[in-house]
Structure 1
């Protein structure tokens, strides 16, 4: 009869590459043995041919030969990997699963290839859902429309009778029809709000596209997101993410709900209590730019409520999201240099910062003093400077601590700021999939930035060279959540199959190990779970992904060919690719 591992003894026996755990001097038998494959532990330079034994939800042994054989008992389930690669489970450090799941259940425009396809999809959705008072959804790409700004009349032609409000792919803007503007009471006389703007017709009438803070002016009129829809959205998102090998994430936008909107933090808590939440989640609470420093008390209270009710290995809420600026495509990313106009001439626009830098230093210092992490959206180089200044101010007042602040996106960073991350212990949160030439980059971004800006884009290699800790995420649903796709771009600086040149100099490319570690142990560290996850070694939780191809044996231009066949969390297989895809065999030990 197998002995189950309930609490790992720190004593390890190591024989070459083979390791196993003892408890009370008795060998613990494996419940699961993954064998005949490659194992990338995260502690080695590359994968090794090895087996991985699991007991009690944790890794019992990683190795080969007699030592591994000794862990196998009569009840051990043996999984033949057939040469596949086992890696630590991917952990997405910047993602929006509940919002993405809701959008999957609404009018989902992700992947449409033209304006005509988008309009056809909207019309079809409206026809299939005649009882919905508003047509809501997201996912359209700005490069499908001239200037990235579609018109209300285009929507009026397919849905004339109901309001339509559709956020774009990056969720920093939206497309609305005439009925939606009327329902929200927005007219030619409505001024642009602080931190946002309307595209307008010649007489001032809103043209159909709204940016940043202007999106919020529809909130009072749109239907609230009901709890049941948010819960279904979480489960739909989780199913998709498990199929991509993701075992943990940091949800980068969990707000205190307004009105009748579902409380996403409560959704997470309820799903955890019901056993429906399979992944490990850090809920990053939203810092409302209009609420001031007084909101910190409510944020701390919500953090403490989660901590009292849920195992922190499953769910915690000790992170705060601060949106410093916008995005470059609509000229709201905060830059040191002014944007250029369509003729290449200087404008007076340097983007939008949603907080005065002095104010941000004050509340970041207060968040830091409360023992909470700050997760910055900092896309433009001026936003990066001011976010680092805020971290530095907190360090000067509060001293060093283990809060692990991080800056996400980092599209443009000044050389002098890439050197500041390591001394400030601020992590660089990379959305690597964006670091390549694509239509939105080449038509809506690079032409409007200072000359030479391409060389400063997504300076991952420079950050790594200066000692910055790298973590990784997708920002899904802004772009795919697939870690393999992001890994491919981080290494190649071009998208799969593209004949475009790499984005920026070769020095900005990451090695395969650097980006794979960022997506596993780096993100585990940022979520304060590195003691339990992020690498494959005895005593840690058996959170892992199985890839059909050994990434380290592929030519770099073929990294995207790999895909996930299995995902394991706590020693349980929570995703297995359908049988038609030639899965590994699982059988009882003989």
Structure 2
């Protein structure tokens, strides 16, 4: 055979485990053609166009991110990008000031600020007014469930003390009822409706930047977790189809079509018909959108995650109910059940966002009921985030075939967890957070994703936390429920073969002869590292279908 690539002298993770004997892999065209010892592969492959001496490094399948927002992330990276800003509120405000000085745009937009940088997680308009007094500012936060605006934006939208909270959101207010500058969930739409519409050029540039950034972290496939209009961003489908037509989409992208939070029982049929038509158009254009995204609730930090018991008062360490109540569910229970059944019947995979224990239970109930009706046999239904899971629901994931789509980076005692979440949910529910090991032990499938730009798309940051239950680079932190940690093998399998299966991309995700040559050369062999160093693993080379889409200086010229 004529091999394009031969990799030798390393270790091979095949998507499930480290291969017991293989040290080499050969690629011809876009496929893996040989896996074995150096001598075996060289004998089969013969001369190769490119030879890579792994020198003990690990070769893995390309990573598949089962839940991210590439369109949003790329566009935000090209705007006022706050994701890498450290140093607290002053540093964030200074970055906004510097960005505003660099552009004459009518609106200052972007995002990536962290709630933990501000008291109570709620920055105020006056901070922005001090640096951008004359133009409206809209900055979505890192978790994309809230936004920070200045007074000019509030005035532009006509938001005053008399403005009611929308059904699916909340305005942060002062003691007099005046809006303070933080908009939670659906309240963001009061401002985004007035913002300039994203152009096709912005979407295209954002997607290309996102793809470059993801490949640099070894990500070769992903699921776009919201395909539709959301939080000021437009449906990214046309941009994906355009890149496919031009041969510029190198990543194996799939998408989850957005189920609007305004869906009612009466509109279910119309909704499913619309999604099916959009699926057809996208599929014909080379962008498969076989999942449907249902956001069941919000997030715990702003009390919009749906809880079985009320939130607690964060004041003075006391534990008593507050006006936070039980949080929000964006679709009524009956609507959720009917939407899930109708989507399953139309051959959609359900992609459910669930943070609170009530949201998790509702999502599991919906799948259980559609299976009781005789559905669900072919659907690859999954639940993303699964932060707080009541012990009674842990075994239901495996029992009902609901894949755990884990964003493992969040399962640690970092500042947002300790300062904002734990005071609101209390000690007992803190012990119910991210029970990955228990769900897997009870038979659940596991996939992994980042939710980028909510958090880093680097798989090794998430794998680090999955294994240690500590934030990267903070080995002295108390682990969050250490008994729920996963092994390195299980975590790496989830981020490769597990997520590829979930995305219906089974030809990728494994290093087996005949499979697609989506491969990553890591900077080291992580199985030889101490767990506290896993976050330091890097990506030296990324291939998609046998084509190099990223290489570092450390990889150097191919031998």
The TM-score normalised by the length of structure 1 is 0.90
Name the residue aligned to 2:347: 371
- Unaligned 5+ segments in structure 2 are none
1:77 maps to 50
Could you tell me how far 1:506 is from its partner in structure 2? 2.7
**CA positional deviation for 1:184:** 1.1
Mapped partners of 2:91, 2:53: distance in 1: 44
Q: 2:406 and 2:548 mapped to 1: Cα distance?
A: 28
Q: Offset of 1:455 from its aligned partner?
A: 1.5
Match of 1:389 among 355, 365, 373: 365
Equivalence for 1:522: 498
Equivalent residue number for residue 303 of structure 2? 331
Is contact 2:34-2:45 (8 Å) kept? Answer: no
| Residues 1:93 and 2:93 are matched in the alignment | no
1:576 alignment counterpart: 551
Cα deviation, residue 205, structure 1: 1.7
Secondary structure at the aligned position of 2:110 is classed as: strand
Counterparts of 2:235 and 2:530, CA distance in 1: 46
Q: Deviations over 1:94-149 (max 9, x none)?
A: 0001101110111111122211111111111111102x111111011111111111
RMSD: 1.7
| Superposition deviation, residue 347 in structure 1 | 2.5
> For residues 40 and 103 of structure 2, what CA distance do their matches in structure 1 show?
60
Q: Is 1:137 equivalent to 2:110 in the alignment? A: yes
Worse-superposed segment, 93-102 or 118-127? 118-127
Corresponding position of 1:240: 213
* DSSP-derived class of the 1:218 partner: helix
For 2:444 and 2:478, the matched residues in 1 are separated by: 23
> What corresponds to 2:5 in structure 1?
32
Tell me the SS of whatever aligns to 2:558: strand
Equivalences for residues 139-218 of structure 1 within 5 A: 139-218=112-191
Which residue number in structure 2 is paired with residue 62 of structure 1? 35
**In the alignment, which residue of structure 1 is the partner of 2:294?**
322
CA distance in 1, matches of 2:172, 2:38: 67
- Superposed CA deviations along residues 239-281 of structure 1, whole A, max 9, x for unmatched, are 111000000000101105899x754111111111111110001
Quote the offset at 1:396 in angstroms: 1.7
Contact 1:242 1:567 in 2 (8 A): yes
**What does residue range 146-545 of structure 1 map to in structure 2 within 5 Å?**
146-255=119-228, 262-291=234-263, 292-293=267-268, 294-310=270-286, 315-343=287-315, 344=318, 345-347=320-322, 349-530=325-506, 532-545=507-520
Q: Deviations over 1:153-183 (max 9, x none)?
A: 1111111111011111111111111110111
Please, which moves more after superposition, 411-420 or 198-207?
Answer: 198-207
Separation of aligned partners in 1, 2:431 and 2:103: 47
Contact 1:406 1:428 in 2 (8 A): yes
Between the aligned partners of 2:118 and 2:321, the Cα distance in structure 1 is 24
Structure 2 distance, partners of 1:275, 1:179, is 42
Q: Deviations over 1:480-499 (max 9, x none)?
A: 01001111110000012314
Partner of 2:78: 105
Indicate the structure (1 or 2) with the bigger Cα radius of gyration: 1
Once the two structures are superposed, residues 51-70 of structure 1 have per-residue CA deviations (whole angstroms, 9 ceiling, x without a partner) of 10001210000001543222
CA shift, 1:223, in A, is 0.9
SS at match of 2:163: coil
Residues matched between the structures, number: 550
3-state SS of 1:536 partner: coil
SS in 1 for 2:23: strand
Q: Contact 1:226 / 1:262 at 8 angstroms: preserved in 2?
A: no
1:545 positional shift = 0.8
Query: What is the alpha-carbon distance in structure 2 between the residues aligned to residue 500 and residue 436 of structure 1?
Result: 12
SS across alignment from 1:79: strand
- Paired with 1:283 and 1:400, the residues of 2 have a C-alpha distance of 20
Which residue in the other structure is 1:128 paired with? 102
Partner of 1:15: none
CA drift at 1:572: 1.0
Residues 82 and 111, structure 2, Cα contact 8 Å, conserved in 1: yes
CA distance in 2, matches of 1:377, 1:352: 13
CA distance in 2, matches of 1:103, 1:490: 27
SS at match of 1:488: helix
Tell me the secondary structure at the aligned position of residue 33 of structure 2.
strand
The Cα of 1:585 is off from its aligned counterpart by: 4.5
SS in 2 for 1:33: strand
Q: Distance in 2 between matches of 1:316 and 1:71?
A: 35
SS in 2 for 1:118: helix
Superposition deviation, residue 48 in structure 1:
4.6
TM-score normalized by the length of structure 2 = 0.95
Cα distance in 1, alignment partners of residues 42 and 557 from structure 2: 19
Alpha-carbon separation, structure 2, partners of 1:138 and 1:123? 14
Instruction: Please report how far the alpha carbon of residue 332 of structure 1 lies from its aligned counterpart in structure 2 after TM superposition.
Output: 0.8
Q: Distance in 2 between matches of 1:139 and 1:217?
A: 20
Which 4+ residue blocks in structure 1 deviate beyond 6 angstroms? none
Task: Summarize the Cα distance change of 1:559–1:258 in structure 2 as closer, same or farther, 3 Å threshold.
Answer: closer
Task: Tell me, in whole angstroms, the C-alpha distance in 1 between the residues paired with 2:295 and 2:46.
Answer: 53
Compared with structure 1, are the counterparts of its residues 121 and 505 closer, same or farther at alpha carbon in structure 2 (3 Å cutoff)? Answer: closer
